[in-house]
Chain A
Amino acid sequence: MSPSHGDLLWRWLLTIIAMITGIIVVVITVFLFSEASTVLQEVGWGAFFLDPSWHPQEQFFNLIPMLLGTLSVTVGAVFLAIPLGVASAIFTQYYAPRGVAYVYRQLIELLAGIPSVVYGFWGLVVLVPLINRFQAPGTSLLAGMVILTLMILPTVALTAEASFEEVPWEYRQGAIALGLSKWAMIWGVILPVAKSGVMTGFILATGRALGETMAVLMVCGNVVQVPDSFFAPVRTLTANIALEMAYATGNHRSALFVSGLWLMGAIALMVLIAEIMRDQNVKL
């Protein structure tokens, strides 16, 4: 059966839109590489791993502390947000009375809509002084993790809830018919079935955490160092770009585009992991 005229039109329209999206990604990557090429030609890739420190004005370009900073803040936030988010989704879906669940869901959605600079400002004036009472200077990896957790929590909670809703009703009926307790049903039936949806939320949240700039810039302290404790200040790749881009020229500016490339690499890795996971789920 040949597709109708209308279908063909849609096919072409959507192909063109998809191609534009693809081209934008390619153009951004090419732009990043061309801007980074100046410093790559002059000092080479090695400098970004082997230089003694990040002091671009003195021609030192080590980006390892920023890469580890980004990783530690992101991993920390994701590890805190996953159990909290999944627990809150289980609460709204299976335990909370209808009215409470409704109000609670609205609150979570509100949390998702707050601009990141507001989180950052709150962190700077409330959270950082609080941490400072226990361990100076307060601006720290811990502060960054807590703020990021708050920011990605709605993503985890809402996607988890959506995937719980998609679990076929018969599974639940079957579990009830077998006389399983509520918790046994959630743990043994719902969670395994909804796993791929929860995973998608996890990937989305990680992507947001990796790319978050403003809030992290305000609460992490931005000292270029490999963090040795939760109370140590760190600088992320995004904060590095935001702090210095406006004031950078020459090799310094170009080196910031290398920061951007690394960030792009990290996000590409996340997408790759997501793809692999999806394939595995399909096999199940």
Chain B
Amino acid sequence: MISKKAIQIFSLGIIAPLTLQSCQQNTVTNSANTDILTGRLIITGSSTVAPLVSEIGKKFEGENPDVRIDVQTGGSSRGISDVRNGIADIGMVSRGITPEEDDLSFHSIAQDGVGIIIHQDNPIDSLSDEQVKQIFTGEISNWQEVGGKDAPITVVNKAEGRSTLELFLDYFVLTNSQIKPSVVIGDNQQGIKTVEGNSFAIGYVSIGTAEFSINNNVPIKLLPLDEIGATRDNVANGSFPLSRPLNLVTNGEEDFLTQTFINYSQSAEVHDLIKKQDFVTLSR
């Protein structure tokens, strides 16, 4: 344990000067002149949110030339822990707040749905929630049992710790140990590639990413859930049941630059960027 602490102190020694410097700069400009923003923001977390935030960051840097926005991925959990440890100014989290996280403040910037995908050649057009559950737990292992071709089902699951997995398990009231996967994947793209290459696979990915791929002629299709189509429109009007907010997270004591950036990310000025990333803007 002592050596672990030593390592933490060692790494803090490297990182702290960088962050401290940016903090000092922020406070100076904060009191002196609120029109010109300077400083550096470190943003880490969810790989789903990161592309959007780096686009927002670029636009923000364009309008405030003295600001540097540094975006790094690593998953929602990393976003949370980096903000708690003070390594990052803002964390990115692609799910709602959980009770253990009420010490942090969550700021939603967009919405995304999680949709079930299968190959385009698969004749199935819809599955009931119960059927999906039985497929993922291995009770149904052949497409014939749900009205498809006589072929074994390839169940594509996500790796432990991914927020899409948590959301999926939550909706179908499952634990990960009940799922009997044939393939375990990391990010959404890998899931789409796997289903693309296997006519009898079933998986679940971000609706935004899936729609983007479908628009680029990738032979997959999104299945409706609970008879509600997995479209961005249905995520936007709140009728699609399996959706999640994309959040920026802070430890509650934002400095001026952080606060400005969060306000900017929530403003109508970034709606075009959100749409371009195939996410859904928040109606407010």
The interface of chain A, by Cβ under 8 A from chain B, is 30-31, 34-35, 37-38, 53, 55-58, 60, 124-125, 128-129, 132, 136-139, 217-218, 221-224, 233, 235, 242-244, 246-249, 252
Q: What is the size, in residues, of chain B's interface with A at 8 Å between Cβ atoms? A: 36
Query: Is B69's CB within 8 Å of the partner chain A?
Result: no
Are B4 and A37 interface neighbours, CB within 8 A?
A: yes
The residues of A that contact B154 with a CB separation of less than 8 Å are: 132, 136-138
A sample of 17 cross-chain residue pairs with beta-carbon separation below 8 angstroms, ordered by A number, consists of A37-B4, A55-B175, A56-B160, A56-B161, A125-B193, A137-B198, A138-B197, A221-B183, A223-B183, A235-B184, A243-B184, A246-B78, A246-B161, A247-B161, A249-B77, A252-B160, A252-B161
Query: Is B7's CB within 8 Å of the partner chain A?
Result: yes
Are B197 and A58 interface neighbours, CB within 8 A?
A: no
Query: Is B201's CB within 8 Å of the partner chain A?
Result: yes
A138/B198 contact (C-beta < 8 A), A30-B3, A60-B177, A248-B77 known: yes
The A interface, classified by DSSP as helix, strand, loop or mixed, is: helix
Are A34 and B161 interface neighbours, CB within 8 A?
A: no
The residues of B that contact A56 with a CB separation of less than 8 Å are: 160-161
Q: How far is the CB of B77 from chain A (nearest CB, A)?
A: 5
Contact with A along B194-214 (1 / 0, CB 8 A): 100110110000000000000
Q: How far is the CB of A228 from chain B (nearest CB, A)?
A: 13
Are B183 and A34 interface neighbours, CB within 8 A?
A: no
Docked Cα-Cα span, A34 to B81, in Å, equals 19
The B interface, classified by DSSP as helix, strand, loop or mixed, is: mixed
Docked Cα-Cα span, A165 to B75, in Å, equals 51
Q: Pick the contact of B190 from A136, A218, A223, A233 — CB < 8 Å?
A: A218
Q: Pick the contact of B197 from A129, A217, A224 — CB < 8 Å?
A: A129
Docked Cα-Cα span, A58 to B132, in Å, equals 22
The residues of A that contact B74 with a CB separation of less than 8 Å are: 246-247
Are A136 and B182 interface neighbours, CB within 8 A?
A: yes
Q: Pick the contact of A58 from B177, B185, B198 — CB < 8 Å?
A: B177
Docked Cα-Cα span, A159 to B79, in Å, equals 46
Contact with A along B13-32 (1 / 0, CB 8 A): 00000000000000000000
The 8 A-B residue pairs with the shortest CB-CB distance in the complex, in nearest-first order: A247-B161, A247-B75, A137-B154, A222-B184, A137-B182, A243-B159, A34-B3, A129-B197
Docked Cα-Cα span, A132 to B119, in Å, equals 14
Docked Cα-Cα span, A210 to B159, in Å, equals 21
The residues of B that contact A31 with a CB separation of less than 8 Å are: 7
Docked Cα-Cα span, A37 to B1, in Å, equals 7
Are B190 and A249 interface neighbours, CB within 8 A?
A: no
Known A-B contacts: A138-B197, A235-B184, A248-B77. Give 14 more (CB < 8 A).
Answer: A56-B160, A124-B193, A128-B197, A132-B198, A136-B154, A137-B201, A221-B182, A223-B181, A223-B184, A233-B182, A242-B186, A247-B78, A247-B162, A249-B161
Which of A34, A125, A128, A247 is packed against the most chain B CB atoms within 10 Å? Answer: A247
A224/B184 contact (C-beta < 8 A), A136-B200, A248-B77 known: yes
Are A222 and B160 interface neighbours, CB within 8 A?
A: no
Docked Cα-Cα span, A69 to B197, in Å, equals 23
A137/B183 contact (C-beta < 8 A), A53-B177, A58-B175, A124-B197 known: yes
A136/B152 contact (C-beta < 8 A), A31-B7, A223-B183, A246-B73 known: yes
List the B residue with the shortest CB-CB distance to A55: B177
The residues of A that contact B122 with a CB separation of less than 8 Å are: none
Which of A35, A217, A246, A252 is packed against the most chain B CB atoms within 10 Å? Answer: A246
The residues of B that contact A58 with a CB separation of less than 8 Å are: 175-177
Q: How far is the CB of B149 from chain A (nearest CB, A)?
A: 12
Contact with A along B62-105 (1 / 0, CB 8 A): 00000000000111111011000000000000000000000000
Docked Cα-Cα span, A217 to B190, in Å, equals 10
Are A139 and B183 interface neighbours, CB within 8 A?
A: yes
Query: Is B268's CB within 8 Å of the partner chain A?
Result: no
Docked Cα-Cα span, A35 to B76, in Å, equals 21
A244/B4 contact (C-beta < 8 A), A125-B197, A233-B183 known: no
List the B residue with the shortest CB-CB distance to A218: B190
The residues of A that contact B201 with a CB separation of less than 8 Å are: 137
List the A residue with the shortest CB-CB distance to B73: A246
Are A221 and B175 interface neighbours, CB within 8 A?
A: no
List the A residue with the shortest CB-CB distance to B198: A132
Q: How far is the CB of B135 from chain A (nearest CB, A)?
A: 13
